[in-house]
Chains A and B, each alone.
Chain A
Amino acid sequence: MLVLTRKVGEKLLVGEDILVSVIEVNRGSVRLGVEAPQSVSILRFEVYERIQEENLNASQSVSPTDIQQAAAFWRQKGALQEKGQANED
């Protein structure tokens, strides 16, 4: 990992077109500005990690039985709603 020191107002160029600026430093927090092409997604890593974890869980924990039962619930719920609407009419 590259580690370097920057002061407030200084910038970093990543690749050819991603510019990271240090805007403010305040009690353990650093405010950064990122200029990048629109096609580059910029994420707080925690959000990415959450998706990663959710994907891992989804690929491992959902069994065919689970999904068939959930599908059955879905149909049952749809049927209940239709019945409810019919009663209201």
Chain B
Amino acid sequence: MKIDTKQFGGMEIEESEIYTMPGGMPGFRGMKRFVIIERQEIWPFVCYQCLDDPGLSFYIMDPALFMPDYKLDMKQAILEAGWEGDRPEDIKLYVVVNTSAGVPEKITANLIGPLVVNMRRHEADQLVLHKSPYSHQHLIFSQPLSPPAKNKPMSREQAVPA
């Protein structure tokens, strides 16, 4: 089927690539159908495009890539999502990323609202972690990269264009 996307324009997908979110996402309760778009130019980020509103999309990523010890109570997650009987192996974990600081280098990940995607049921759910040691704005690049060669070393704050 043909779909419209925010970043990639029109594209062709298979019906089987659609994930349904029966409960929607906090802030977007009515938005139920999404597709995961993987593209080399944005890897390790992945686009989570809504089909009900082509203007709505998120960027998500696998938290294990920047935090290998990120932990989620998968049994509880399965219960909350209403997926009784499913195994943790059926479920892929993502977190939503955000550049609200306006600087790509300060991209953050929301670690208390993980997105669980059930590959077997083709359903997804965004959990809200109630007791969690994690931040909703975790800096993915926790150590700053050295800025491109400049005349003199600058602090991280100064290195960021206003």
Contacts and interface: CB of A to CB of B under 8 A. Distances in A.
Interface stretch (B10-18, B37-45, B85-93, B152-160): B37-45
Interface string B62-87: 00000000000000100110100000
Interface residue range, chain B = 35 or more
Interface in B110-155: 110, 112-113, 126-130, 136-137, 140-141, 145
Q: Looking at chain A's contact residues, is the secondary structure mostly helix, strand, loop, or mixed?
A: helix
Given A51-B112, A51-B136, A71-B42, A58 B97 contact: yes
B25 to A, nearest CB: 6
Interface in B13-68: 25-28, 41-45, 56-59
A87 to B, nearest CB: 15
B3 interface: no
Given A47-B112, A70-B107, A77-B145, A58 B59 contact: yes
Interface range on chain A: under 10, 10 to 19, 20 to 34, or 35 or more? 20 to 34
A89 interface: no
27 contacts: A39-B80, A43-B128, A47-B128, A47-B129, A47-B130, A48-B26, A51-B27, A51-B126, A54-B137, A55-B25, A55-B27, A57-B100, A58-B96, A58-B97, A59-B28, A61-B99, A61-B102, A62-B98, A63-B99, A66-B104, A67-B59, A69-B104, A70-B104, A71-B43, A71-B45, A73-B104, A73-B141
Interface of B: 7, 25-28, 41-45, 56-59, 76, 79-80, 82, 96-100, 102, 104-105, 107, 110, 112-113, 126-130, 136-137, 140-141, 145
